[in-house]
Amino acid sequence: MHNWKVATAAMLDEMVALRRAIHTEPELGLKTPATTKKARAALEGLPLEFADGGSTTGFVATLRGPSGGKTVLLRADMDALPLDEETGLAFTSQIPGAMHACGHDAHVAMLVGAARALCERKDSLPGTVQFMFQPGEEGWHGARHMLDDGLIKPLPDAAFAIHVTPNIPSGTMTGRPGPMLAAADRFEIIIEGKGGHASQPHDAVDPVPVAGDLASAIHAMVTRRIPAFDPCVITTGRLMAGNACNVIPATAVIEGTIRSFSETTRELACDGLRRLAEHIPAAHLCRGSITIEPVFPVTVCDHSIAAIAKCAALELVESGEWIDMPFPAMGAEDFSYVLQKVPGAMIFLGATPEGGDWRDCCALHSNKMVLDEKVMALGAALHCAFVEAYFARNLIS
């Protein structure tokens, strides 16, 4: 195997500079023009073919080896989260209400580093590599939009992605075959009562205690109706009602997320929510209605591609720096859309900040989350190793 760690370590300063430039100017959703411009500028002068589409500002850069062969896709997401940053970093977000709190800035920098390293060895590349720079991962279905736009046609033979996290020791990697991350659905329940004066609740129909009962009943329903060995998590993330302490509001709203690993459990959870949303409010003279919106499918890693990813990782690091992921996580990923169409795998790369404890440092999606930037060199090398390992396996077979 080529010494990718040496090649990408030489690019670390450039990756750090790019990551910080993106971090300072985070963008939300499907349109991330400033981030796209920075990534494209970092790839300028390389022997790449570019394709972009109308639904997003995402793009695919393609590197073609001299002999045709198979195609491997490497993906990085680009969008930020709607948070006000409180890290105190010198390169903190300059955009109110937006922060790179999920490491996507590092993902872009790592994929740029991998592209530069692989372009240096274009003449010995026995196939084609697609570098997918994707906005809109945080609930915007960016990968699905890029697929629908035809940016990944023809489909590659394999696909890989890396996600950094501060809650794994820095430099340690983990992955698994089969289901890795959950399907996600979003729900909103509206409880309609009758508003009134807070001193006269008997003359109103108060939706607030109904919302409390309903939130508790949702959690009880999960433990009583969902099989323990085909699990589900339903979390009420938002409960809204009223805007004054002496007014009984006319409505209350509950919003939350459903996470599951099978269509059977997904349907059980959704059916249970619909029953509760209708009948508990009715028992209290209120009217309940629910909307359930699918977000992401289950992220399923192909067994053979996951094995290639693990072997590639172990070529780069000591055996103790790879941990088999013992069970799936309830997070969700729209790389799942790619994995529905292409055999592939995702791994997590630990990036605990220097001096931090991976067990309790601020996690992804925290507005105080920070990362160990040094792991970006390893992440870029890992992308390259995926490509090399897949091509080597394909040539042997």
Tell me the torsion sign for CA atoms 373, 375, 377, 383: negative
Q: How crowded is residue 289: how many other Cβ atoms within 10 Å of its Cβ?
A: 13
Q: Do residues 184 and 296 lie in contact, with contact meaning Cβ atoms separated by under 8 Å?
A: yes
**What pLDDT is attached to residue 1?**
67
* Helices and strands (DSSP H and E) totals, the chain: 10, 16
- Gap between the Cα atoms of 260 and 263, Å rounded: 8
Alpha-carbon span 139 to 341, nearest angstrom: 19
Peptide bond into 82 cis (omega under 30): no
290 dihedral zone (left: phi>0; alpha: psi -120 to 50; beta): beta
pLDDT at 396: 45
What does pTM read for this prediction? 0.88
Residue 338 amino acid letter: V
**E strand intervals along the chain:** 49-52, 59-64, 71-77, 128-134, 158-165, 173-175, 178-181, 183-192, 196-197, 232-241, 247-248, 251-260, 287-296, 299-301, 322-324, 344-350
pLDDT at 393: 83
| Alpha-carbon distances of 189 from 252, 280, 335, rounded to whole Å | 8, 12, 28
CA–CA distance, 383 with 161 (Å, rounded to integer): 8
**pLDDT (0 to 100) of residue 394:** 74
Specify the amino acid at residue 216: S
Compute φ and ψ for 194, nearest 5 degrees. -140, 120
Spatial separation of the C-alpha atoms in residues 45 and 75, rounded to whole Å: 20
Q: What is the pLDDT along the chain (397 residues), one digit of tens a residue?
A: 678 888 898 999 999 999 999 999 999 999 999 999 999 999 999 999 999 988 999 999 999 998 878 999 999 999 999 999 999 999 999 999 999 999 999 999 999 999 999 999 998 899 999 999 999 999 899 999 999 999 998 999 999 999 999 999 999 999 999 999 999 999 999 999 999 999 999 999 999 999 999 999 999 999 999 999 999 999 999 999 999 999 999 999 999 999 999 889 999 999 999 999 999 999 999 999 999 998 899 999 999 999 999 999 998 887 669 999 999 999 999 999 999 999 999 999 999 998 888 888 888 999 999 999 999 999 999 999 999 999 988 754 4
Residues 6+ apart with CB under 8 A from 97: 82, 83, 84
Alpha carbon separation from 205 to 148, 171, 188, 248, 289 (Å, rounded)? 47, 56, 20, 8, 16
Cα distances from 161 to residues 56, 121, 158, in angstroms, run 19, 21, 11
Query: What CATH number has the domain spanning 4-181+298-396?
Result: 3.40.630.10
Rounded to whole angstroms, the Cα distance separating 55 from 135 reads 10
Tell which phi-psi region holds residue 341, choosing left (phi > 0), alpha (psi between -120 and 50) or beta: alpha
Q: What is residue 318's predicted lDDT score, i.e. its pLDDT?
A: 75
183-293, what's its fold?
Alpha-Beta Plaits (3.30.70)
Pull the structure tokens for residue 380: 């870029």
Per-residue pLDDT, 361: 87
pLDDT value at residue 68: 77
Tokens linked to 183: 């399907």
Distance CA(18)–CA(216), nearest Å, equals 46
Domain with CATH 3.30.70.360 in the chain: 183-293
> Which regions of the chain carry the CATH code 3.40.630.10?
4-181+298-396
Is there a contact between 355 and 370 (Cβ–Cβ < 8 Å)?
no
Q: Which tokens is 177 given?
A: 């075959």
Rounded to an integer, what distance in angstroms lies between the CA atom of residue 26 and that of residue 32?
8
